[in-house]
Structure 1
């Protein structure tokens, strides 16, 4: 009987030792901070990537919008220096303007219109007339016929006050965000007006 009690006590002591070691191991594991930084970094990494990509998108978008404005102004300035233009010359000017968007993978779409503000005969009123226009193949116009026709001769009110001729340049560009999987493309447009520099009018093609 005494031998059995000794064996039982020995086994109980061994089990108690195992329990104490297990408890000590659990407490030690709970206090161990060595892996916390790695876990936190793994949780924060996707958020950090989204923030970085968002900031980069905003910066690229602002830069693209500024370039679209420069395209419109440069194309208008080049044409305003001419006395006459041929369709092929305007195509070359469009290509020159597109180089401002480098290193973007897409070129802007451009339309140039020559608009005249003329006095109506025997009347104090003025009328706005489209003299000529040329655009790139991908230039997007309104699907509504009335809106399309109105835009062809559109001038701001302050440019309609006296007889004058204007070059109107419209530059369109579609910005594709870095986060294109979650953000839509952004359509950008800039309209620029300038008067001819060296003559009252600019002839188009072989027109007199």
Structure 2
């Protein structure tokens, strides 16, 4: 006659350590925080890179529009600045600063700011004042010529603040030659 065993026999300690039924749950519990941190970090990094690329595009586009205009009125300049706001979309423009300036070099190679305009007025972007002497490489601004300086600054703040809790400031400066005239004149 076969011997009967009790199905509710208590497990021994050695059998407990060999049991592999909960290994997946333990591995997931150990890896999940690392994976979530990695995912959030990549999302924040991607958003920051997108903001920087938009700022580069904004500085290029705004400067290009001004370089194609022989005479720049206040109304036209306001329109250009508002286009800059639109180009940063969907990012907030509260920490955006744009500076446009016409820099003229005389026959001796002395570079002087003919006119400059900052937007908005209290922006953190560094904008040289009219009449200021600046130093631009002769390869960019030869003697007796002019360039349009398009400068943009953007303070990126991550919406998650998980991996990048502090603000990152992106700056971009471009120099463009006037397309339709020797220099861009500013008329009120």
Provide the TM-score with structure 1 as the length reference: 0.73
Give CA deviations for 1:44-76 in whole Å, capped at 9, x if unaligned: 111101111222233332222222111111001
The runs of 5 or more residues in structure 1 that have no matched partner are 1-16, 120-124
User: Could you say what secondary structure the match of 2:91 adopts?
Assistant: coil
Is the 8 Å Cα contact of residues 41 and 163 (structure 2) preserved in structure 1? no
**Which structure has the larger Rg?**
1
| Residue in 2 that maps onto 1:8 | none
Give CA deviations for 1:20-55 in whole Å, capped at 9, x if unaligned: x44x25444333322221122122111101111222
Correspondence 1:180 to 2:161: yes
Q: Distance in 2 between matches of 1:62 and 1:156?
A: 29
Give CA deviations for 1:112-153 in whole Å, capped at 9, x if unaligned: 01111012xxxxx222111111111242156xxxx9679873
Give CA deviations for 1:89-110 in whole Å, capped at 9, x if unaligned: 2122112122222222336310
Which is richer in helix?
1
Question: Deviation of residue 83 (structure 1)?
Answer: 1.9
| Superposed counterparts of 1:101-180, under 5 Å | 101-106=88-93, 108-119=96-107, 125-137=108-120, 138-141=122-125, 153-177=134-158, 180=161
Q: Distance in 1 between matches of 2:111 and 2:140?
A: 10
The runs of 5 or more residues in structure 2 that have no matched partner are 1-5
Q: Distance in 2 between matches of 1:94 and 1:40?
A: 53
Q: Distance in 1 between matches of 2:125 and 2:42?
A: 32
Change (3 A) 1:75 1:148: closer
Of residues 62-71 and 25-34 in structure 1, the stretch that sits farther from structure 2 once superposed is 25-34
**How many aligned positions are there?**
178
Question: Deviation of residue 164 (structure 1)?
Answer: 0.5
| Residue in 1 that maps onto 2:52 | 65
| Residue in 1 that maps onto 2:3 | none
Is the 8 Å Cα contact of residues 140 and 175 (structure 2) preserved in structure 1? no
Two-structure CA RMSD over aligned residues (Å)? 2.8
